[in-house]
Structure 1
Amino acid sequence: MAIDHTSISVPEDKFKECVALYVKALEPLGYEIAYQFGEYTVGFGSKLDAREGYKVADFWAKGAKEETTKAHIAFRASDRAAVDAFHAAAVSAGGQDNGAPGVRAHYHANYYAAFVLDAAGNNIEVVCHNP
């Protein structure tokens, strides 16, 4: 079994800012906007993961009228350079550093990750498990 998709809620007044961050920060991982429904629902998917003629969106951002519970979403990267590129892109797009790229040996010896907070306070992580 694998996770098919996940979504986070962000306040509508911070939605555009959060989506702009995701666009730039997830680009090094091959993600782009795959779908947009109305003003406050955006689905992101990998350019490399198209199946049967349709785009696959596995990360969704949805607008909420009220404050929501903060989320922690972790994307898997194939190498450490992608983790570094994510962090640099996210911070340059306005994300708040919540953990620079580096090994988190308390998880395991090769756990290389970086963390940023979006405008809504959601913790977005990218991790590589390879040496």
Structure 2
Amino acid sequence: MKSRQSPIPRQPIKRNSDALSTTASRLCSKPTSTPGADMLHHISIGVRDLRAAGAFYDGTLGALGYRRVFDGEASIGYGLVDGQDILLLNLCVDAAAPGDGFHLAFSAPSRASVDAFHRNGLAAGGRDNGAPGLRPDYGDAYYAAFLVDPDGHRIEAVINRIAA
């Protein structure tokens, strides 16, 4: 079966691998000297409506301290440093979210940011998949919120440490 591509030509994305790996390690609170600590370089997901997806992720990821670091005709990147995306949205006319069992969990700096992630996501067209709150089945300090984005991707914001 032939795969169909987006009608808009993709623009090359410039990345600085060393800086991104350092950023990813810091975000995951893993020491960079540990083999395998930089397991993921970035995640790309397909979206059918880049504008709607951008509005959704601007609000949800913005609440967690991330921002747009790349903005192209057919892609939007999110991270901390310009040009060093950790999450990339790609316009794809046939985009489909993965099935049951898959979700992306984003680290949150505070419980308040988890609450804002959920609130902003609902305001931008997301669907509730679990209100903010403690999840004792996952751990004593596991505080999370779950959403489904406009394209059907399941996402979570989580902080898993005792509130100070």
TM-score normalised according to structure 2 size: 0.68
More strand by share: 1
State, as a whole percentage, how many aligned pairs show the same letter: 36
Q: Aligned match of 1:66 in 94, 107, 132?
A: 94
Q: Give the C-alpha shift of residue 15 in structure 1.
A: 2.5
Q: Which runs of 5+ in 2 are unaligned?
A: 1-36
For 1:82-121, what aligned pairs fall within 5 Å after superposition? 82-121=113-152
Whole-Å separation in 2 of the counterparts to 1:63 and 1:80: 32
Deviation at 1:55, TM superposition (A): 4.1
- The answer to whether 1:17 aligns with 2:45 is no
Helix, strand or coil for the counterpart of 2:85?
coil
Q: 1:6 aligns with which of 35, 43, 63?
A: 43
Structure with greater contact order relative to length (CA < 8 Å, sep ≥ 6) = 1
TM-score, normalization: structure 1?
0.84
Query: Please, which runs of 5 or more residues in structure 1 have no aligned partner?
Result: none
Please say if 1:34 is aligned against 2:62. no
Contact in 2 for aligned 1:101/1:114 (Cα 8 Å): yes
SS in structure 2 opposite 1:89? helix
Measured in 1, the distance between the counterparts of 2:92 and 2:135 equals: 33
Structure number, greater radius of gyration: 2
Q: Give the total of aligned pairs.
A: 122
